[in-house]
Amino acid sequence: MSWKDFTELFVRPLFTLGKTPVSLESLVEMVVVVLLVVLLSRLVRRALRTRVLAHSKLDIGLQYAIARFAGYVVLVLGFAIGLESVGVDLSTLKVVAGALGIGIGFGLQNVANDYVSGLIILAERPVQIGDRVDLGGGLVGTVQLIGVRATQVLTGDNILYIVPNSQFVTNRVVNWTHVDPRVRFSIPVSASYDSDPHLVEKLLLEVAAAIPSVLKDPAPTVVFKTFGDNALNFELRVWSTAPAEAHGGLDSQINFAIWDKFKANHIEIPFPQRDLHIKEPVEVELKQSAEANPPSGPPGRSN
């Protein structure tokens, strides 16, 4: 094959899109345009985050959202300008867009929902990078990345979950660190009825004051909850700014300290007790019933 034949094959129309002939040359140009647009979108997003927004007073979540939106705008405009530059009339894509819309309506509802939810999250920012979220079902972790379709959540066990964005929009999500990083912890404590409740309160406040991660403001408090069946029930309430990694750890640290403090001051932590009373008339009734209805002999034998 000569160079002339190869050139003719390269520019020969393969098919037509509306009134626009599509050749191998135009397909290669389209691929190049797509790659350049994607690269430009990433460069713009990275430049905004590292060189422009990083020096502003905006929080990290808002910087990320602005950079993402800018990347999407560059991507859409780049595709439109690039396709027009290679000779593709965008008006001829109406049929394709209509078919794609029908496909989204019937087969890609969940995917489209995730994409729209991603835009809502970036716009309203109910969840941001670095937030500690509780999605229910035991899934608690830190938001690592908010994508256009899914969000990455890293748990305390170093397990990365890919969560569809629609779950953040349609389901109930607990955000521990969205506005105020302070979180209150309530630790139930029981003491025997022989204990002085005022001494118990004093000891619990001493425990809270000795733990560095417990805030002084708001100050720890002790609530005398109820007179239980076997114990006096209290609740130690403390505030902390480190719930992200230390929710269970702080509870454990406080419980260890309470145990040591109660043991040193001879405060007993009771355990549930139950008394079992057996009434004699029940046993007599059973014996009388057995005597009144003696067991019958084997079949076929007379008494």
> With 50 as the cut, is the pLDDT of residue 303 above it?
no
In a domain, residue 284? The reply is no
> With 70 as the cut, is the pLDDT of residue 302 above it?
no
* First vs last C-alpha separation in the chain: 117
User: Same domain for 211 and 239?
Assistant: yes
In a domain, residue 270? The reply is no
Instruction: Look at strands 140-146 and 160-164 and give their pairing.
Output: unpaired
- Which of residues 116, 148, 175 is at a domain's end? 175
User: Same domain for 164 and 234?
Assistant: no
Neighbours of 236 (CB within 10 A): 24
The CA distance from 111 to 56, in Å, is 34
Mean pLDDT of the chain: 78
User: Same domain for 187 and 162?
Assistant: no
The CA distance from 167 to 176, in Å, is 17
The CA distance from 188 to 223, in Å, is 9
> With 90 as the cut, is the pLDDT of residue 125 above it?
no
In a domain, residue 118? The reply is no
User: Same domain for 103 and 143?
Assistant: no
User: Same domain for 30 and 85?
Assistant: yes
User: Same domain for 38 and 83?
Assistant: yes
What is the reported pLDDT for 43? 86
> With 80 as the cut, is the pLDDT of residue 64 above it?
no
> With 50 as the cut, is the pLDDT of residue 60 above it?
yes
User: Same domain for 100 and 17?
Assistant: yes
User: Same domain for 81 and 23?
Assistant: yes
CATH number at residue 151: 2.30.30.60
CATH number at residue 241: 3.30.70.100
In the DSSP assignment, the letter for residue 294 is P
Which residue in the block uniquely carries the two structure tokens 């191998």? Answer: 24
In a domain, residue 197? The reply is yes
What's the total number of domains in the chain? 3
What would the pLDDT profile of 83-112 be if each residue is shown by its tens digit?
Answer: 666 666 666 556 556 655 665 555 567 777
Beta strands in 64-211 (DSSP E): 132-134, 140-146, 150-155, 160-164, 174-175, 183-191
String of DSSP letters for 240-286 = ES-HHHHHHHHHHHHHHHHHHHHHHTT-------------HHHHHHH
CATH number at residue 54: 1.10.287
The CA distance from 261 to 234, in Å, is 15
- Which of residues 249, 264, 279 is at a domain's end? 264
User: Same domain for 88 and 43?
Assistant: yes
Name every residue whose Cβ is closer than 8 Å to that of residue 14 and which is 6 or more positions away in sequence: 22, 23, 24, 27
The CA distance from 235 to 251, in Å, is 12
Nearest-10 crossing angle of helices 24-47, 3-11: 70
Q: 219: part of which helix (H) or strand (E)?
A: none
In a domain, residue 294? The reply is no
In a domain, residue 301? The reply is no
In a domain, residue 289? The reply is no
The pLDDT of 112-129, averaged and rounded, is 81
The pLDDT of 211-234, averaged and rounded, is 92
In the DSSP assignment, the letter for residue 130 is T
Ramachandran class of 137: left when φ > 0, alpha when ψ lies in -120 to 50, beta otherwise: left
What would the pLDDT profile of 142-183 be if each residue is shown by its tens digit?
Answer: 898 888 788 999 987 888 999 998 888 888 888 887 677 788
For 238, the domain range is 183-264
Sheet holding 132-134, edge to edge: 160-164, 150-155, 140-146, 132-134, 174-175
User: Same domain for 236 and 198?
Assistant: yes
User: Same domain for 63 and 87?
Assistant: yes
In a domain, residue 89? The reply is yes
Proportion of the chain above pLDDT 90, given as a percent? 22
